[in-house]
Amino acid sequence: MSEEKENIQFQLTNELIGQVEELIAIKSDKELKSLLDEFHYADIAEILDELNLEEAVYVIKLLDSETTSDILMELDEDNREKVLRNLSAKEIAEEIEELDTDDAADIIAELPEKRQQEVISQIEDEAHKAEITELLAYDEDTAGGLMAKELVKVYDTWTVAGCLRRIRGQAEEVTRVHSVYVVNKQGKLVGRLSLKDLIVAKSEKKIADIYISSVDFVNVHDDVEDVARVMAKYDLEAIPVVDENQILLGRITIDDIVDVIKEEAEKDYQLAAGISQDVEADDSVWKLTKARLPWLLIGMFGGLGAAGIIEQFNDHMGAFVVLLSFVPLIQATAGNVGVQSSAIVVQGLANNSIGGNIIKRLLKEALLGLVNGFAIACIGLLVTHFVFNTSYMVSVTISIALVAVILMAALVGTFIPIFLDKRGIDPAVATGPFITTSNDLFGILIYFLIAKIMLGF
Amino acid sequence: MSEEKENIQFQLTNELIGQVEELIAIKSDKELKSLLDEFHYADIAEILDELNLEEAVYVIKLLDSETTSDILMELDEDNREKVLRNLSAKEIAEEIEELDTDDAADIIAELPEKRQQEVISQIEDEAHKAEITELLAYDEDTAGGLMAKELVKVYDTWTVAGCLRRIRGQAEEVTRVHSVYVVNKQGKLVGRLSLKDLIVAKSEKKIADIYISSVDFVNVHDDVEDVARVMAKYDLEAIPVVDENQILLGRITIDDIVDVIKEEAEKDYQLAAGISQDVEADDSVWKLTKARLPWLLIGMFGGLGAAGIIEQFNDHMGAFVVLLSFVPLIQATAGNVGVQSSAIVVQGLANNSIGGNIIKRLLKEALLGLVNGFAIACIGLLVTHFVFNTSYMVSVTISIALVAVILMAALVGTFIPIFLDKRGIDPAVATGPFITTSNDLFGILIYFLIAKIMLGF
């Protein structure tokens, strides 16, 4: 018990990952188990996120379900989906049995419809099964979709002594007891008590005489964002959830709200940067393209619209003036790509979810830039040539410039935040106008250099 | 005790504010007190944020310090500063006595240096005074700056029964008991216990036999962002803070971390939108200008740089071509202003801190746009005329266009998010490329229309 304590900052190193991979390769189960036993499940999840699917499934099957159920909850969503596809309905049901009802329902909700029924039918604990089924019925964006059924509930007719006795039973089920909720005979929420209040009170007192009747609560259909706002505003650590008749249905704890707040903030940030869907820096190029290309297209048609406006005012269309008309297109594209790239890197750095290899990250951004750039350039070629009637050479020039500018903007937008972070400067300062402005300049320079080479004016 | 419960969603209405103002005007203290007594302190703070300073101070002096100390903590920072300036050192000290050490230290840290000493010397509770003074020594961005001294601490040599007895004493001081921290004779943190563990354990057991030795903790000098990351990752609701020698110094609770996470997210979001400093939609035009103008200037010099690049490639400078060279300037300015305006409105909407009056909000943005626009236009006039040698009329055209475009972008950036929010659409979708693109188009149209009027080409 007197062992030296270490600071809890867990460091995910390449050595550690290599060591785990090595132990999996030689199937050294006992050593692997004792190595992983040292770590918190959230840390094991970080390790598993770095392994390939086969290795991750191997570890999940090796460890006991009490640990692996928690690990599953912490895994990256995409990885969890893949791992679950490699487990049988029976195996998933075993994981589910170990989880609190809210987490269990979340995991099941992620499964394909048919799989959901198979897994639910394999859950042995009937009470747990019924509660999970109840939770699955609520919309995931409502209080019902976030709440857990686990809570400590006492009737107002009980005595303090009787209460403490029964709480001992209920509390075994509940990881953390924030508040003891007091209900009347009909199950309606009438008040609350803290464990502290119970400990301090005389044991022969009735609950009805000591409970606190002012109790905050939310309705099961309230929006999670409203719940988050209320809990943050009133500094609540848990809030009971009731139905229209004030019947106590469950409770929401602050750790789930922290996740809601973080996800909301990330969503807003990504939307502001022109990234739809919930994507992370580690997602596939295809998924990232789907999230980013639509916004680039909006920006592109804005740029083309601007060129159209400029044309309306022009009465002498030389090649140079035609090129100038498309400056807004180049600029908007460079700006949008730069902000997208930097926003996703900044967020990845803030979440600690970006691995150390800067070259690998830049190569990925380059690939992403080429994919997006090629799509944008093709549309650009067609629209400029057929709608704006620019010469073939000018259209090709604009298209090549678009690819080059997107590539450049993506690399600058990725490199600068990582560079700043390594120097200990908050990478968020490099997003927004800073990135946009430098990309404007580089973009226009690249555009006219390519035009000079292609058109030789 | 059987009164009907209402949902906790507090609605700040103009009627309510009017009612409070009325009661203050006629000095109807008793009625005012009984009206405000119905509300949570966080709600009263929201009401006070809407009153003028004199009225707010009146309410603070009217209510007892147990409530007002909590209200003060929830007030908007600028308003708190003003209210505190209107209280004597003695009055502030009385508020401080009611607060937990972490909140108390935060309030004192906001005061001017000289005032800090006066207030501290007026605190009567010597232990409280010493603890606050200790906390003031830590950097506000470290665990030490965030922690509270209030916690429940037991020695490993105690018995469960002795423990429970003494906890009753300590717990009176601590609003929420998350964990009971176990220390050895030297005060070193060796483990933890939950209240649940204590209740479940046999009363004659020694703490040393039942405590859990795996306890997460942070060092007093750790960065708050790291603490936030750790607490979110491991789903902790409180974490003990120790010094280099593992001596238990304090604890950080999740409600403070929620604030850190929200502030961090807001800061990143605002930086991405080109807004430095921590500003809110309700801040003064002057404060908002200070936070926004520097980024607009960066964008402006980017646009001017782009014009310089375009000029390098040009061999025949007609008036129209000269105007075209400055398209990047117009575009960058419109884009930056639009993103700034929309980001601050979106964040205000997310925090529920934007009052309902859309016309008032638009007028404020218009004023802000005029101030920023005038500054940008003056610089634009000088730089285009003297550095780019454009004719006087062209320089004036560009300057007028800059003011018009900034005004337009600010209004569009403000109006669209508010409009979407009223329709029940997430206003965050209107930030980023969406706003930028529409502002590009409007901006270029306005630019050439003004040029047509001014230069008549």
Name the residue of chain B whose CA is nearest to A263's CA.
B265
The owner of tokens 């060092």 is B219
Rounded Cα gap, residues A226 and B330, in angstroms: 40
Specify the CATH number of the domain A14-140.
1.25.60.10
Question: Which residues on A lie below 8 Å from B331 (Cβ)?
Answer: 306, 328, 331-332
Helix (H), strand (E) counts: chain B: 22, 6
Name the residue of chain B whose CA is nearest to A442's CA.
B306
Q: What does the CA dihedral B77, B82, B87, B90 come to, rounded to 10 degrees? A: 40
What stretch(es) of chain B map to CATH 3.10.580.10? Answer: 152-253
Name the residue of chain B whose CA is nearest to A210's CA.
B1
- Contact flag A299-B335 (C-beta cutoff 8 Å): no
Q: Which residues of chain A have pLDDT under 50?
A: 1-7
Inter-chain contacts counted by CB atoms under 8 A, chains A and B: 312
- What's A184-253 look like in SS3? CCCCEEEEEECHHHHHHCCCCCEHHHHCECCCCCEECCCEHHHHHHHHHHCCCCEEEEECCCCEEEEEEE
Of B161, B164, B153, B163, the closest CA to residue B215 belongs to: B153
Check residue B457 and give its pLDDT.
64
Q: Which of B165, B176, B233, B351 is the mutation pick for testing A, counting most A CBs within 10 A?
A: B233
- Half-sphere exposure in the Cβ direction for A451 (13 Å, CA): 26
Quick check: A164 contacting B, CB < 8 Å?
Answer: yes
Quick check: B9 contacting A, CB < 8 Å?
Answer: yes
Phi and psi torsions of B276, nearest 5°: -85, 175
What stretch(es) of chain A map to CATH 1.10.357.20? Answer: 273-455
ipTM: 0.71
Quick check: A448 contacting B, CB < 8 Å?
Answer: yes
Quick check: B38 contacting A, CB < 8 Å?
Answer: no
Query: How many Å separate Cα A86 from the centre of its chain?
Result: 23
Quick check: B441 contacting A, CB < 8 Å?
Answer: yes
Check residue B268 and give its pLDDT.
76
Contact B143, B149 (CB under 8 A): no
State how beta strands A152-155 and B152-155 pair.
Answer: unpaired
Specify the CATH number of the domain B273-455.
1.10.357.20
What is the least distance, in Å, from the CA of A142 to any CA of chain B?
A: 15
Contact B76, B280 (CB under 8 A): yes
- Domain B14-138, CATH 1.25.60.10 — does that match? yes
Name the residue of chain B whose CA is nearest to A40's CA.
B234
What is the least distance, in Å, from the CA of A413 to any CA of chain B?
A: 12
Contact B215, A8 (CB under 8 A): no
Check residue B333 and give its pLDDT.
85
Interface of A with B in 246-305 (CB under 8 A): 246, 254-255, 257-259, 261-262, 264-269, 271-274, 295-296, 298-299, 301-303, 305
What stretch(es) of chain B map to CATH 1.25.60.10? Answer: 14-138
- Contact flag B433-A336 (C-beta cutoff 8 Å): yes
What stretch(es) of chain A map to CATH 1.25.60.10? Answer: 14-140
Which pLDDT tens digit goes with each residue over A140-166?
Answer: 889 999 999 988 889 999 998 888 888
Check residue A239 and give its pLDDT.
93
- Contact flag A195-B195 (C-beta cutoff 8 Å): yes
Contact B219, B244 (CB under 8 A): yes
Give, for all 457 residues of chain B, the pLDDT tens digit.
333 444 456 778 888 999 999 999 999 999 999 999 888 899 999 899 889 999 999 999 999 888 899 999 999 888 899 999 999 999 999 999 999 999 999 999 999 989 999 999 999 999 999 999 999 999 988 999 999 998 888 999 999 888 888 877 766 666 666 778 999 999 999 999 877 777 778 888 899 988 988 888 999 999 998 899 888 888 888 899 999 999 999 999 888 888 888 888 877 777 777 776 666 767 777 777 777 777 777 766 776 777 777 766 665 557 777 888 888 888 888 888 888 888 778 877 777 666 556 787 788 888 888 888 888 899 889 888 888 788 888 899 999 999 999 999 989 988 888 888 888 777 776 666 777 778 888 888 899 889 888 887 6
Homologous superfamily (CATH) of B152-253 is CBS-domain (3.10.580.10)
Which pLDDT tens digit goes with each residue over A96-139?
Answer: 999 999 999 999 999 998 999 999 999 999 999 999 999 999 99
Element of type H or E holding B192: strand B189-193
- Contact flag A328-B325 (C-beta cutoff 8 Å): no
Check residue B3 and give its pLDDT.
39
- Contact flag A234-B40 (C-beta cutoff 8 Å): yes
Helix A41-50 vs helix A77-85: crossing angle, to nearest 10? 80
